[in-house]
């Protein structure tokens, strides 16, 4: 290859193969990415078929994965027309395998979704490989048409990338939405069973049972006391500690921060026995105070790290200017640093509240009386070894999750600011 471009940026027409080397249709570029993604998804589907022990599904999905892999390997590069026909043939095989797998009258929504990850990529490949633009590119095109193709690529690239990104995002959202839809359906369905079609019946009897139960309100009161107490005690300790670690140098500072980080690496269950012995010695079993102290100590290291990262971003020049104006260290902290740190304090408070609201293990061990149960322990008591009350459990789960959703909606702005506040220093 002697020359690739002319001085004016146009493709050199002296080399007849230069057009293919400089121009690749956007369809081929996208197929290289999307077929790889389709192969990975079909491998996940294959794992699901193995768990279901569906022999037919295993064979068809396995063959489909092979056809998509070979199709991607054989995608044309503009140098040989046989690659296009070979890739087209294996894509057609994958399409046929997907359609054959639909030859069953008893298919669920999952079955249609899993088959779709074989049928749609294969059908798209067949459609694009049989298009006139791909056929012309594989047989050789002129420089002028290659330039037009590059312009076309630029127009379509944003749209096609958006389609691919949104497809993956929809699947990510579905992983969160589907369990919520399922548990809501159980909560509004008659009886206490997990089966049945979604939306086949509607009743509010489970919510009436839960809201009319005095025990549920006792659990709610206990959770509110423990969560609010943990938040207040945790903030009163974490805020000054985070500021001290950020602004002052003292003996053992690095070792203390390393110890805070090290504590987070170990599961909480390893401190269960020491915690229990301490609470028993102090007479704090079956009390809200005991849980508040335990939760505050557990969440303190991470809260200190979060607040220290934000305090590091507050310019020291502001404090120095305030000191020149005669402010004391406490005045600087309360009148300058703390108001600027409200987003970080809000996210730390939210973290402390939710940690206490959702914690199960310590509440189960420290409290043996039903009158001292928090909501997670109370919900677990609704699923005994016999006579499961799945409908009541689902309704209670929705009611317990509602305050969390409300808090996230109210503090959404502070949440985003607090999470990104310590990302960049300065």
Report the pLDDT value the prediction gives residue 305, as an integer from 0 to 100: 86
pTM: 0.70
Same domain for 275 and 136: no
Domain count, the chain: 2
Same domain for 217 and 302: yes
Report the pLDDT value the prediction gives residue 340, as an integer from 0 to 100: 84
Same domain for 127 and 217: no
Alpha carbon 197 to its chain centroid, in Å, reads 27
Domain range for 130 is 18-180
Retrieve residue 114's tokens: 């899993």
Tracing tokens 């369990």 back to the chain, one arrives at: 179
Same domain for 340 and 227: yes
Burial class (CB in 10 A: 0-12, 13-18, 19+), 263: middle
Same domain for 151 and 33: yes
Of 145, 180, 215, the last residue of a domain is 180
Same domain for 160 and 24: yes
Cβ-contact 234, 299 below 8 angstroms: yes
Cβ-contact 26, 150 below 8 angstroms: no
Same domain for 362 and 267: yes
- Residue 127 resides in a domain: yes
CATH number at residue 324: 1.10.3720.10
Same domain for 361 and 289: yes
Retrieve residue 133's tokens: 């633009």
Report the pLDDT value the prediction gives residue 200, as an integer from 0 to 100: 73
Rounded distance between C-alpha atoms, residue 91 and residue 97, angstroms: 10
Same domain for 227 and 367: yes
- Residue 328 resides in a domain: yes
Report the pLDDT value the prediction gives residue 63, as an integer from 0 to 100: 93
- Residue 190 resides in a domain: no
Same domain for 144 and 41: yes
Rounded distance between C-alpha atoms, residue 281 and residue 289, angstroms: 14
Same domain for 229 and 289: yes
- Residue 28 resides in a domain: yes
Report the pLDDT value the prediction gives residue 10, as an integer from 0 to 100: 46
pLDDT per residue, tens digit, the chain (426 aa), is 333 444 344 444 444 455 566 788 899 999 999 999 999 999 999 998 898 888 888 898 999 999 999 999 999 887 777 888 999 999 999 999 989 888 876 778 888 888 999 999 999 999 999 988 888 888 777 777 778 888 888 899 999 999 989 998 998 888 888 888 888 888 888 877 666 667 677 888 888 888 888 999 999 999 999 999 999 999 999 999 888 888 888 888 888 888 877 777 777 778 888 888 888 888 888 888 989 998 888 888 888 888 888 888 888 888 888 888 888 888 888 888 888 888 888 888 888 898 899 888 888 888 888 888 999 998 888 876 666 778 888 888 899 888 888 888 887 776 666 555 544 444
Of 133, 165, 180, the last residue of a domain is 180
Report the pLDDT value the prediction gives residue 7, as an integer from 0 to 100: 37
Same domain for 159 and 219: no
- Residue 310 resides in a domain: yes
Alpha carbon 341 to its chain centroid, in Å, reads 27
- Residue 188 resides in a domain: no
Report the pLDDT value the prediction gives residue 301, as an integer from 0 to 100: 86
- Residue 112 resides in a domain: yes
- Residue 95 resides in a domain: yes
Angstrom distances, CA of residue 104 to CA of 91, 95, 101, 113, 206: 22, 16, 7, 14, 36
Rounded distance between C-alpha atoms, residue 376 and residue 381, angstroms: 9
Rounded distance between C-alpha atoms, residue 6 and residue 16, angstroms: 14
Rounded distance between C-alpha atoms, residue 221 and residue 231, angstroms: 15
């Amino acid at each position: 290859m002697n020359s690739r471009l002319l001085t004016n940026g146009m493709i050199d027409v002296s080399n007849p193969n230069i057009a293919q080397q400089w121009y690749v249709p956007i369809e081929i570029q996208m197929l290289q990415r999307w077929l790889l993604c389709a192969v990975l998804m079909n491998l996940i589907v294959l794992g699901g078929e193995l768990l279901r022990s569906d022999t037919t599904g295993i064979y068809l999905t396995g063959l489909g994965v092979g056809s998509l892999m070979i199709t991607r390997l054989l995608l044309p590069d503009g140098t040989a027309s046989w690659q296009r026909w070979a890739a087209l043939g294996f894509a057609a095989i994958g399409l046929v395998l997907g359609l054959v797998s639909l030859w069953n009258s008893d298919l669920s929504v999952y079955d249609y979704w899993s088959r779709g990850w074989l049928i749609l990529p294969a059908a798209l490949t067949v459609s694009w490989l049989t298009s006139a633009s791909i056929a012309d590119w594989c047989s050789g095109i002129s420089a002028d048409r290659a330039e037009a193709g590059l312009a076309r690529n630029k127009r379509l690239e944003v749209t096609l990338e958006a389609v691919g990104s949104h497809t993956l995002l929809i699947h990510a959202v579905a992983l969160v939405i589907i369990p919520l839809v399922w548990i809501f359906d159980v909560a509004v369905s008659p009886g206490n069973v997990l089966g049945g079609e979604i939306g086949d019946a509607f009743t509010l009897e489970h919510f009436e049972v839960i809201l009319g139960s005095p025990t549920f309100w006792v659990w709610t009161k206990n959770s509110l006391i423990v969560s609010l107490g943990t938040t207040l005690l945790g903030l009163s300790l974490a805020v000054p500690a985070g500021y001290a670690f950020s602004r002052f140098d003292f003996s053992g500072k690095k070792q203390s921060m390393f110890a805070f980080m090290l504590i987070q690496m170990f599961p909480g269950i390893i401190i269960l026995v020491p915690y229990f012995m301490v609470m028993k010695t102090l007479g704090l079993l079956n009390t809200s105070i005991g849980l508040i102290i335990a939760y505050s100590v557990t969440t303190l290291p991470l809260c200190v790290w979060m607040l220290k990262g934000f305090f590091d971003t507050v310019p020291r020049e502001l404090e120095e200017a305030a000191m020149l104006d005669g402010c004391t260290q406490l005045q600087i902290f309360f009148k300058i640093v703390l108001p600027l740190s409200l987003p970080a304090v809000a996210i730390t408070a939210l973290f402390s509240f939710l940690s206490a609201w959702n914690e199960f293990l310590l509440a189960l061990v420290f409290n043996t009386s039903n009158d001292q149960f928090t909501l997670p322990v109370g919900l677990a008591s609704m699923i005994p070894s016999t006579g499961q009350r799945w409908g009541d459990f689902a309704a209670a789960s929705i009611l317990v999750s509602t305050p969390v959703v409300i808090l996230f909606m109210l503090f959404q702005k502070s949440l985003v600011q607090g999470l990104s506040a310590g990302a960049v220093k300065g």
